[in-house]
Amino acid sequence: MSKKSDKAFIIFSGYNNRAVLSVCRTFHQMKINYFIIAHKGLDVLSKTQYKIKIVDYLNIPSLDVQEIKGILTKIKTTHHISQLIILPTTEYLNRFLLNNRNELENNDLCLVPLVNKDTYLSISNKGYFSSICRKYEINIPNELTFSKARIPFVAKPKKEFTDNNKRVYPYLICNVRDLEKFINFEKEEDYYYQEYIEGESFYLLFYFYKCGKYRVILQQNGAQQPNGKSIFFAWSCPLKKSLFVDNFIKLFKNEKFHGLVMVELKGTADKYYMIEANPRIWGPTQLMLSSHFNLIKCYIEEYFEYELNEVEFTFKNNALYFWFGGFFEAFLNKKAINWFAYGQKMFFKNLHRLLLNDIYLKKDSFKVFFFEIFKLLKRKK
């Protein structure tokens, strides 16, 4: 990079912690100015070397626009910053930013690097995005009625938030106990239902620039926590055209989308299906750093007006992502891990490399690694 900038990124932490840590590593390595607004509760970033970048604390689940404006104003004044750019880190934050964009961007207080609200919701809301994909001849799992669904099947939220502002999550219903839990805690009308797709699992990862340029990388998932929670083992792999790469490029360009987006696909070489899309950073973001194809750098290139050499994007195949805490939690609780096709084979083949690639077992965050293990062991007693 050729010049310094008086701009800075703002990172809200406290949620999506593994992704946020990877972003901090990127900015630190590239000497990019940034500040962290942390969660008032226990924020794992406070146990890393990046705690020196924490400038204030918020009660993240209940954001207040006036309080945030005050913090941003103070940062700009104290640190002589010309422009603050808020990095999209979580679904809740992104929707808050979109709902309050005019007030936050007023008088150049900050920049929200997101598409307009309608475009964002058309991709983030799972049911609507599925309907868009059909127009681009992208396979979608067969939809079911709840009364006729047969185990296993998937219950997906029609929207990320219900009309009474409750955050709703997908359910992987594999047995009667899962079904009973869903019936007891959720409303049938807030969800739609699809067949469960087995086989390989991929994350197709994009960054679309406002000028139309894009970068894309593929992540293959090996294992996931029980109940469809977080991916804890994955690796980088070459792009597969059969994953509708060209179709998605056309779709996102036509929808005038820009920024980061992850598309999950599952299936076999005979037929892959789109599962969902998330227009924000994702848990295994560290894999982009390890594979030398870090899409976070695209934000730096676009919003700091840096020209990145293509050497910055030299793809490394079979780079690993591992989160021991996610694996250990399932092991301690004797819960069945969701292994995808080739997952176990790759896991044992790379057993000697796993801890070397753990998201937290690194010099800048090793305290989090041991804190997480001790917390799990204490909870188990």
What pLDDT sits at residue 2?
41
Cβ-Cβ contacts under 8 Å for 199 (sequence gap 6 or more) = 266, 267, 268, 340, 341
* First CA to last CA distance, the chain: 51
**CA separation for the pair 349, 351 (Å, rounded):** 6
- Angle 324-332/366-380 helices, nearest 10 degrees? 10
Q: Which residue has the tokens 């104290």?
A: 78
pLDDT, tens only, 43-65: 999 999 999 999 999 987 689 99
What pLDDT sits at residue 309?
84
User: Which residues lie across from 58 on neighbouring strands?
Assistant: 39
User: Which residues lie across from 342 on neighbouring strands?
Assistant: none
Query: CATH number of the domain at 7-114, out of 3.40.50.1980, 3.40.50.20, 1.10.3720.10, 3.40.50.300?
Result: 3.40.50.20
What pLDDT sits at residue 163?
73
- 200-380 maps to which CATH number? 3.30.470.20
Are the C-beta atoms of residues 3 and 307 closer than 8 Å to each other? no
**CA separation for the pair 3, 141 (Å, rounded):** 48
Pseudo-torsion of CA 249, 306, 7, 206, nearest 10°?
20
Domain ranges, ordered by start, for the chain: 7-114, 142-195, 200-380
What pLDDT sits at residue 174?
87
What pLDDT sits at residue 312?
86
- Residue (of 348, 341, 339, 298) closest to 320 by Cα position: 348
Helix locations, the chain, DSSP H: 17-29, 65-79, 91-99, 101-105, 117-124, 126-135, 176-185, 245-254, 286-290, 296-303, 324-332, 343-349, 366-380
Report, as ranges of residue numbers, the positions in the chain whose pLDDT lies below 70. 1-5, 61, 381
- Residue (of 317, 311, 300) closest to 236 by Cα position: 317
What pLDDT sits at residue 307?
82
Are the C-beta atoms of residues 113 and 259 closer than 8 Å to each other? yes
The per-residue DSSP string of 166-215 comes to -B---EEE-SHHHHHHHHHHS-GGGEEEEEPPPSEEEEEEEEE-TTS-EE
**CA separation for the pair 96, 293 (Å, rounded):** 29
- Residue (of 318, 264, 309, 323) closest to 291 by Cα position: 318
List C-alpha distances in Å: 286 to 21, 48, 221, 266, 349: 8, 15, 13, 21, 21
